[in-house]
Chains A and B, each alone.
With several copies, the nearest count.
Chain A
Amino acid sequence: MLYTEKVMDHFMNPRNVGEIENADGVGEVGNVKCGDIMRIYIKVEGDQIVDVKFKTFGCGSAIAASSVATELIMGKTIDEALALTNKQVIDELGGLPPVKVHCSVLAEQALKAAIYDYATKNALTFKGLEGYDPDEDHHDHDVVDIEF
Chain B
Amino acid sequence: MKQIYLDYSATTPVKREVVDTMLPYFTEIYGNASSIHGFGQEAKSVLEQSRKSIAETINATPDTFYFTGGGSEADNWALKGVMRANRKKGNHLITSKIEHHGILHTCTALEKEGFEVTYLDVDAEGMVSLEALEAAITDQTVLISIMFINNEIGTMQPVKAIGEIAHKHGVLFHTDAVQAYGNVKIDVNEMNIDLMSVSGHKIYGPKGIGGLYIKKGIRIQNIIEGGAQERNRRAGTENIPGIVGFAKAAVMADENLEAHREKLIYLRDKLANGIMDVIPYAKYNGHPTERHPGNVNICFEFIEGEALLLSLNAKGIAGSSGSACTSGSLDPSHVLLAIGLPHEIAHGSLRLSIGDFTTEEDVEYTIESLKEIVQKLRLMSPLYDK
Q: Within the assembled complex, what's the spacing in Å between the Cα atoms of A38 and B344?
A: 14
Does B381 lie within 8 Å of A55, measured CB to CB? yes
Which residues of A in the span 38-68 have a Cβ within 8 Å of any Cβ on B? 38-39, 55-60, 62-63
B383 contact set on A, CB distance < 8 A: 32, 37, 57
Taking the complex as formed, is B1 at the interface, i.e. its CB lies under 8 A from any CB of chain A?
no
A60 contact set on B, CB distance < 8 A: 306-307, 310
Closest chain B residue to A3 by CB distance? B310
Taking the complex as formed, is A33 at the interface, i.e. its CB lies under 8 A from any CB of chain B?
yes
Q: Within the assembled complex, what's the spacing in Å between the Cα atoms of A28 and B302?
A: 16
Q: Within the assembled complex, what's the spacing in Å between the Cα atoms of A35 and B302?
A: 10
Interface size class of A (residues with CB under 8 A): 20 to 34
Taking the complex as formed, is B221 at the interface, i.e. its CB lies under 8 A from any CB of chain A?
no
Closest chain A residue to B306 by CB distance? A59
- 8 closest A-B pairs by beta carbon, nearest first, are A35-B347, A55-B382, A148-B328, A59-B306, A33-B343, A32-B344, A39-B382, A60-B310
Binding site for A on B (CB under 8 A): 36, 38, 41, 63, 228, 231, 302-307, 310-311, 314, 328, 330, 332, 343-344, 347, 379-383
Known: A32-B343, A35-B305. 15 other contacts (CB 8 A): A8-B314, A14-B380, A33-B344, A35-B304, A35-B330, A35-B332, A35-B347, A56-B381, A57-B303, A57-B304, A57-B381, A60-B306, A62-B304, A99-B328, A147-B231
- Tell me, rounded to whole Å, the shortest Cβ–Cβ distance linking B158 to chain A: 33
In terms of DSSP, what is the predominant structure of the interface of chain A? mixed
Taking the complex as formed, is A6 at the interface, i.e. its CB lies under 8 A from any CB of chain B?
no
Which residue among A8, A34, A56, A60 has the maximum number of chain B CB atoms within 10 Å of its CB?
A60
A129 contact set on B, CB distance < 8 A: none
Q: Within the assembled complex, what's the spacing in Å between the Cα atoms of A28 and B283?
A: 27
Taking the complex as formed, is A138 at the interface, i.e. its CB lies under 8 A from any CB of chain B?
no
Does A8 lie within 8 Å of B332, measured CB to CB? no
Interface string of A4-44 (1 = CB under 8 A from B): 00001001101001000000000010001111111100000
B310 contact set on A, CB distance < 8 A: 2-3, 8, 11, 60
A59 contact set on B, CB distance < 8 A: 304, 306-307
Q: Within the assembled complex, what's the spacing in Å between the Cα atoms of A28 and B383?
A: 11
B41 contact set on A, CB distance < 8 A: 1-2
B228 contact set on A, CB distance < 8 A: 148
